[in-house]
Amino acid sequence: MTELWQATAPIENLRKRAQIFAQIREFFAARDVLEVETPLMTSAAVSDPYIDTIECRYHPLPGQQEQARYLQSSPEYAMKRLLASGSGAIYQICKAFRNGECGRRHNPEFTMLEWYRPGFYHHQLMDEVEALVGPVIGMAGFQRISYNELFRQYLQLDLQTATVNELAAITRQHIDIQMDDDNRDNWLNLLMSHVIEPQLADKGAVFVYDYPASQAALSRIAEDDNGQPVACRFELFIAGVELANGYYELTDAAEQAKRFAKDIAQRQTEGLPLRPTDGLLVEALENGMPECAGVAMGLDRLVMLALGTEQISDVIALPFDRA
């Protein structure tokens, strides 16, 4: 009945997709944000332990002097090098690649929108995300809630005092899983994806901000109102779907090098693949990157939300199993 040669996405969905992409480009043109392109095939790979890069091989001569290259999992490092090169505000719409990520809302090769705003901090960038996304999905009045408050509201959990064992115990009350783990963030992520996200399904658009400092990734760390260190990071959930991830960006080169080293150490401990980290990003930061906020957004999911579909294959013409 369905043939593998055939597109999975109805052509009208692809029209809507093209329309949304045009709308995004108009949005940034009107705000004088420059569209850029950066390499898809890079010499360094992302350090995040739980993002697995797809490796490819470059040969200067057929079959000889093989070099490893990595399909980018996000254009973040390269775009930051552009910012340090003096680009000013920039955005990019590109393919990003992640090994093993295949499912209802995941395609190993997906389309990402990423943009950077020098002079913005993360709450200003949230305003801009809302201004872009709101009209596309026909929603307004995005809510904002801190990570700690979210866990207090949905799980009656005080993250400032909760121990790893308590987090594990609460997780096991909600989820049937066989897992032992000393990593606090793994339990938090499970609670977030399995217990909180589904409850956000009927809550419209919600920005979650002030992530635990241990989940800072490439955001700077500041103190919240209680004097606790928190990551200047936010995520946007719409109808319970994780749509965007943004930071008030880390600009400190030494701290950046430290975070790479920490990720590598975690990869070693957990037996995850080790790949070269991006020394050029550290050099760019040493040279000086403007203070800025940046955000990455899954465009396939944005189109899904605009169309009200549940499957990423409804908005990608030829998904992974037909690629």
Residue 50 in tokens = 């739980």
Instruction: Name which position in 3, 12, 32, 176 contacts other proteins (CB under 8 A).
Output: 176
Which CB, 175 or 261, lies closer to other proteins? 175
Q: Per CB under 8 A, which region of 23-31, 129-137, 160-168, 184-192 contacts other proteins?
A: 184-192
Task: Compose the 240-279 pattern: x for residues touching other proteins by CB under 8 A, - for all others.
Answer: --x--x----------------------------------
If one asks whether residue 103 binds other proteins (CB under 8 A), the answer comes out as yes
Q: With b meaning 16 or more CB within 10 Å and e meaning fewer, what string describes 96-128? A: bbbeebeeeebbbbbbbbbbbbbebbbeebbeb
Q: Binding to other proteins by residue 323, rule CB under 8 A? A: no
78-88: b or e for each residue (b if 16 or more CB lie within 10 Å)?
A: bbbbbbbeebe
According to CB under 8 A, which residues from 187 to 216 bind other proteins? 189-190, 192-194, 215
Sign of the C-alpha dihedral computed for residues 250, 228, 184 and 240 taken in this order: negative
The alpha carbon of 296 is separated from its chain's Cα centroid by a whole number of angstroms, namely: 5
Question: Which one of 140, 169, 179, 274 is in contact with other proteins (CB under 8 A)?
Answer: 179
The residue range among 27-35, 99-107, 162-170, 220-228 that interacts with other proteins, by the rule CB under 8 A, is: 99-107
Q: How far apart are alpha carbons 31 and 72 in whole angstroms? A: 27
50 vs 40: CA distance, rounded Å: 20
DSSP SS3 for 202: helix
Q: Does 104 bind other proteins (CB under 8 A)?
A: yes
Name the minimum Å distance from CB 118 to other proteins.
24
Name the packing angle between helices 253-270 and 279-287 (round to 10°).
160
Are 212 and 230 spatial neighbours (Cβ–Cβ below 8 Å)? yes
Choice from 23, 58, 95, 100 touching other proteins (CB under 8 A): 100
Neighbour tally for 255: CB within 10 Å = 15
Q: Contact region for other proteins (CB under 8 A) — 47-55, 80-88, 161-169, 278-286? A: 47-55
Structure tokens at 34: 């420059």
Task: Tell me the window of 37-45, 87-95, 155-163, 186-194 that interacts with other proteins (CB under 8 A).
Answer: 186-194
Min. distance of Cβ 8 from other proteins in angstroms? 17
Nearest CA to 292 out of 97, 90, 151 is that of 90
Residue among 236 and 281 whose Cβ is closer to other proteins: 236
Q: CA 298, CA 150: separation in Å to the nearest integer? A: 23
How far apart CA 283 and CA 292 sit, in angstroms, is: 17
Q: Residue 106, interface with other proteins (CB under 8 A)?
A: yes
By the rule CB under 8 A, 235 interacts with other proteins:
yes
Which of 68, 140, 169, 177 binds other proteins (CB under 8 A)? It is 177
* Residue 50 found at the interface with other proteins (CB under 8 A): yes
Which residues of this protein are in contact with other proteins, per CB under 8 A?
48, 50-51, 100-106, 175-179, 185-186, 189-190, 192-194, 215, 217, 235, 242, 245
